[in-house]
Chains A and B, each alone.
Chain A
Amino acid sequence: MSDLAKDPYVAAFPETLPFWAAAANGVFMLPRCKRCTKVHWHPRAFCPFCHDTDLEWIAASGRGKVYSYSIVRHPKSPYVLAYVEIEEGLLLMSNIVDCEFDAVHVDMPVQVQMRATPEGRHAPVFGPVR
């Protein structure tokens, strides 16, 4: 928790702390509106659909599929920038990891894992379903 408090991205949005606390324990949470029951991404302090403020955090399945991807040819270390459509129906930006570049494809089934960021929090990335 002490590391999280120092992360400037977490500090700027204190209402998202439960997400990062769960992520540090390897759990991928989604905000769900208690009123309209919709989940949304990225997390906000209110439901962006019905604008109610009564939200709860639910554990996501962690499964999804690649919606689109690109191998970014960064001169030092290329990486896969992707959009993943998770089972809950949301599209999120992420990286595809633990996978040969040539093997990445649209609709590839993927599973979430948490990766440490330089600032101290853990963020969801996706690898192939083993």
Chain B
Amino acid sequence: MNPDTTACIAGAYEHPLRFAPDKSIAQLHAECARGALDDAGLSFADVDGYFCAADAPGGIPALMVDYMNLKVKQVDGTESGGCSYISHVGKAAQAIADGRCSVALITLAGKPRSSGQATGTEIRVLPTDRPASAWEAPYGWTVAGLYANYARRHMHAYGTTPEQMAWVKVSASRHAQHNPNALLRKLYTVEDVLASPLVADPLRRLDCCVITDGGGALVLVSAAVARTLKRPLVRVRGFGETVRTNEAGRCDMLETGAAVSGARAFGQAGLKPADVHYASIYDNFSIMVLMQLEDLGFCAKGQSGRFVEEGNLISGVGKLPWNTDGGGLCNNHPQNRGGITKVIEAVRQLRGEAHPAVQVKNCGVAIASGPGMVLGIGHAHATVVLERM
């Protein structure tokens, strides 16, 4: 990519609250926007591009653009579930490279915790217009129940164990203990995870991510704007996204969209998994981290259980420091959408602004990668490769 046209992430902000019953969703979006603009050294008046997904009030960009009274030349309401914001980073970078905007704002916010959502365990009422609804609604799927199916199949195919899956939570908790805003700061052991109640066999409560209010925002700028700013800059070097279909009943459920989005992002960046110093990988469920580690190329297919039980995800211990904010499993999963917090922690690492206990030394290349919606139900995936300038 041409450095003169490559966009930079100049601002990143994670809302400190995890429970916000007294704020509106629009207010949370705007607070996140202000936080990211302050971080960049920019103001609302500088924004000329706005990117959001279905969590924005009304589900479209126009209402938040109106609420914040922005003057925009570029809007994008790409809705890909939890990975929307990773996708927005790629699309904002492209819009900036094309000269269609120069300061792009991305926001996410929501209140599933204060509204009492049981995100993973509630049987979904499916709209009748979804093409597969008639053949899914009778079976009472839950998000946890579907991921449990992939976990069971992974165990059957590769010998993956519940203990290995538990290591994902253990690794996240090693990082979350240093994050004062994390919802769960307790250090978990493998035994703790295995003693937690079964939600959907083989997944237990501690295999699942947290449910939190809050949000986050990112500001991407053109190279010309970037030169006027004082903050450390992070360049968007590669982007990939995909939709993983069920292949009309012929899908291998052990492969996630990461196999496509990761390869595309690494290809555009001209880098490979071994070049990555830090990885944010969306952790809605422990099993999804294992599957993505394989599909992104950080370990061979079927070897992820062994990879994580060796401590490889733990910063300062293993080969691939991962989700050093505590991730969705321990820190934050605002509006049930983990994409933006993955990018934010990658930016902190590349700037050298992660917590000192988890900061990766000389962190020059990071990825943020994750799924949207649910594998098997309409599964998107997005990956960005980021680089410190």
A→B interface (CB under 8 Å): 8-13, 16, 39-44, 48-49, 67-74, 79, 81-83, 89-95, 106, 115, 117, 121, 123, 125
Contacts and interface: CB of A to CB of B under 8 A. Distances in A.
Interface residues of B, number: 40
Contact of B149 (A73, A81, A115): A81
A70 B253 contact: no
Nearest to A31: B248
B4 interface: no
Contacts, number: 116
Contacts of B136: 93
A73 B205 CA distance: 11
Contacts of B249: 39-42, 89-92
A67 B138 CA distance: 19
B250 interface: yes
Q: Which of B136, B141, B248 has the most CB atoms of chain A within a 10 A radius of its CB?
A: B248
A73 B134 contact: no
B138 A70 contact: no
Nearest to B201: A71
B248 A41 contact: yes
Contacts of A39: 249
B142 A81 contact: yes
Interface in B126-148: 128-129, 131-142, 144-146, 148
A8 B135 CA distance: 13
Interface in B116-166: 121, 123, 128-129, 131-142, 144-146, 148-153, 156
12 contacts: A44-B248, A67-B153, A70-B151, A72-B142, A72-B144, A73-B200, A74-B142, A81-B139, A91-B249, A94-B139, A106-B156, A117-B137
Sort A-B residue pairs by CB-CB distance and give the 10 closest, nearest first.
A41-B249, A70-B148, A90-B249, A9-B134, A123-B138, A68-B153, A40-B248, A48-B248, A12-B128, A72-B145
A49 B145 contact: no
B197 to A, nearest CB: 7
A68 B128 contact: no
B327 interface: no
Contact of A68 (B141, B142, B149): B149
Contacts of B151: 70
Contact of B128 (A8, A70, A90): A8
B199 interface: yes
Contacts of A9: 128, 133-134, 137
Contacts of A94: 139
Given A42-B132, A68-B152, A91 B246 contact: yes
B198 interface: yes
A117 B253 CA distance: 27
B203 interface: yes
A9 B151 CA distance: 30
B49 interface: no
A123 B135 contact: yes
Contact of A16 (B134, B146, B150, B199): B134
Contacts of B149: 68-70, 81-83
B110 interface: no
A56 to B, nearest CB: 16
